A and B are shown apart, each in its own frame.
Chain A
């Protein structure tokens, strides 16, 4: 590190010293010129130019010095233009400056004078230009030569003959082309040769320096592209072949990559179109471009943009995609050492081309996918370690189409997944699935669902290549919830088709194993219930609706059985109850049987598998609530179930739980419905009051006073509810008895937040009773 720092300050010192000399000599030159002493002026100019002979400066510092010197030279040019043109002594001067002792100052001066000469005497142009570009061969030191030739190119910028010149004497555009091409090939040679200067261990440092200088070489191409006289045919027949000849033969990847890119950037699109074949053939040659990837991608990108800007830019007979696709395949096959990431980058570029230029031709995209598949299938080792790139390539059509259905049409999309690492494959699946949900795309046939879920298999079931250790539970839950959400995108507006879709989903999702189904199956159950409702709505139009509904119910049953088998008790219990409601809604014989079965399965789970007392209360409350909502049970089935509810409630372990559950049962007798009642509530007042009394009795047995009072208040509220709903058998006596009890016990409670709440609840209840029913209970 200190080495480079020391070197940098060294450089700065050398540069400073050189600049001092340049400043001084430039000043002296100017002074002599002002006095009209040309010879002295030239002497100082030579002294100044001598500074450019240095070998010590690095490219960056040399550039700075070069800029300064050439700036000063413009004064000389101006002086000569003014003084000599009129006296016509410029030819002598052209000879004179060739007496400078050292080649660097000699050639800089020659170029300076030469340009003035051309400006003064047009007929000399062709010869002078040729002389200058030939003479520059005298400097073979790479750095000095590159800058000298750059000076030549920039100085002659305004004097090169272009399209409007026709006289062979003064030169035509062909002479300009040859002039630049010669300068270009010489500069390229010097630039490539830099590679061989110095110790081989400094290679990377030299490559860095070369990259800093690349623009000097590229300027030649840029100048060529600005010649109006370079027409398509001149470009095709002369300019491009000459450039490519240098590129191929230099066998230098830095030069090839930069200059190819330079060609692509500086020449117009029509030129590229016309010369696509020759350009691509050059890339394909085995000793041609070393780094073909970036070059091709850049070319594809350029023409793809051109075509996109206006499709008519591309003539009918130029099949861009076919040409590029053919060449890319050829290159990949011939270069077995090509790294997979390069292969994929090229394929991605082709996909983008197909998508942008031929949006309606999904076949093109599929063809690229197929080619990629074949390449990897042929030699599996080529796919190693490039999962990220492959996945990136596969995302391109996903992002472009914004429509999973089109992706599903690509036959060779999913097969490529097999070359992805497990982790990357999963990420891609998640990406696609999120995409489907975000774009709210519906997958509306069971075939497509099959294709989609096959594509997503990595999320749906265990994979042979997945890591041994279980993955992060949070991630897993997120992924599986995503699958559950995606189920809702698999929707057809045709009910029969929807049923096929559901069956297809089931087929795939049941492969998920115990740990996945808890996230995925509930979605299917709800989708199935939804479908039942659809058929129910259609029962006037579809005479087979009963049969179809029964099939769906069986379908639900099989899903729930899978959850039971995997011992997801809570989930199964809730889904059984929910499903029972749907069965019941159907109002048909077979459905009732199934509904009964569902409720009884829920009971079975409740009795056998729910052990925690809190969970038991929740479960029985759910069962009671569900049962209360049913409408189509026959009395034959209704009676045993409601008795069961009551029995189960009174068997709960804790008294408060018993009390609450039993009081809930009262609702069944009040507002429960069965088929015999034809939709009206049971209104079995006696049983309602029996249950309520039983609940009061149970709360009497509570040992904890505060809980007891709380229960009383809750029961008081229940009484009021029934009274409000027209249960006239609830008497004031019953209520005042309860109120009395509460008042008796209340003072004995310990002061606490809970007690406060009870008191408040009680007072609010009393206020309500008073306002609604006009009852008041004065304290005795």
Chain B
């Protein structure tokens, strides 16, 4: 017999087979994809599809898709800075230089730039949405699931349904 004290451990909690093999209870995936450029001249802008897939109970839906433009992300970031206590990660920078006139290319509507920005904001939104404290914020829910953002909303917390 080995020395008892050596192998004395706290008894582990038994795991059920379901717990062992079920898909994780914190599944969350947000894709930012299919950029589209709308409008002409000064009114021109690009928006992206923001697609949410999750099994977190805090979200009312398991799948959802909305269209958002860069300025919407800026709004979300500002709201979170204001309302939540988390340190909000930065967004990919504004493309000041690209907005200057007399450029040889399409400026901020160049395909390469749009793709670069898409990757940036995809990383940003996944980081935020994965944070348990941010998950409580009303603004995040509105941003991810409502077709239109109501900028005059009343800030607040969401409870698990």
Contacts and interface: CB of A to CB of B under 8 A. Distances in A.
B29 A121 contact: no
Nearest to A198: B29
Contact of B6 (A94, A169, A189, A245): A94
Contacts of B18: 249
Contacts of B1: 123-124, 127, 169
A246 B18 CA distance: 10
Nearest to A170: B1
In this complex, the interface size class of chain B, counting residues with CB under 8 Å from chain A, is 10 to 19
Nearest to B11: A134
21 contacts: A94-B6, A123-B1, A124-B1, A127-B1, A127-B2, A134-B9, A134-B12, A137-B12, A169-B1, A189-B20, A189-B21, A196-B23, A196-B27, A199-B29, A200-B53, A201-B31, A245-B17, A246-B17, A249-B17, A250-B20, A251-B21
A36 to B, nearest CB: 24
A134 B13 CA distance: 11
A196 B24 contact: yes
B160 interface: no
A128 B23 contact: no
B21 A128 contact: no
A116 to B, nearest CB: 13
A95 B2 contact: no
Interface of A is mostly: helix
B21 A200 contact: no
A201 B53 CA distance: 12
Contacts of A185: 20
Contact of B21 (A117, A130, A250): A250
Given A193-B21, A200-B53, 18 more contacts: A91-B3, A91-B6, A94-B6, A117-B2, A123-B2, A124-B1, A127-B1, A130-B7, A131-B6, A131-B7, A137-B12, A169-B1, A192-B21, A196-B24, A196-B27, A201-B31, A250-B20, A250-B21
In this complex, the interface size class of chain A, counting residues with CB under 8 Å from chain B, is 20 to 34
A128 B7 CA distance: 7
Query: Which of B17, B27, B31, B53 has the largest number of chain A CB atoms within 10 A?
Result: B17
A577 B9 CA distance: 106
Contact of A121 (B2, B12, B21, B23): B2
Interface of B: 1-3, 6-7, 9, 12, 17-18, 20-21, 23-24, 27, 29, 31, 53
A670 B98 CA distance: 113
A252 interface: yes
A200 B2 contact: no
Interface in A61-114: 91, 94-95
A124 B5 CA distance: 12
Contacts of B53: 200
Contacts of B23: 196
Nearest to A255: B21
B136 to A, nearest CB: 24
* Among all A-B residue pairs, the 9 with the closest Cβ atoms: A124-B2, A131-B7, A249-B17, A127-B2, A189-B20, A250-B21, A127-B7, A91-B3, A196-B24
A594 B2 CA distance: 110
A130 to B, nearest CB: 7
Given A131-B9, A200-B29, A200-B53, A91 B2 contact: yes
Nearest to A128: B2
A121 B24 CA distance: 42
Contacts of A91: 2-3, 6
Interface string A186-206: 000100110010011100000
Contacts of A117: 2
A231 B71 CA distance: 70
A391 B58 CA distance: 55
A619 to B, nearest CB: 79
Contacts of A131: 6-7, 9
Nearest to A246: B17
A701 to B, nearest CB: 93
A121 B21 CA distance: 38
A169 B20 CA distance: 31
Contacts of B3: 91, 124
Nearest to A94: B6
A546 B27 CA distance: 93
A243 B63 CA distance: 36
Interface in A409-432: none
A193 B7 CA distance: 29
A250 B22 CA distance: 8
Contacts of B9: 131, 134-135
Contacts of B6: 91, 94-95, 131
A87 to B, nearest CB: 16
A635 to B, nearest CB: 101
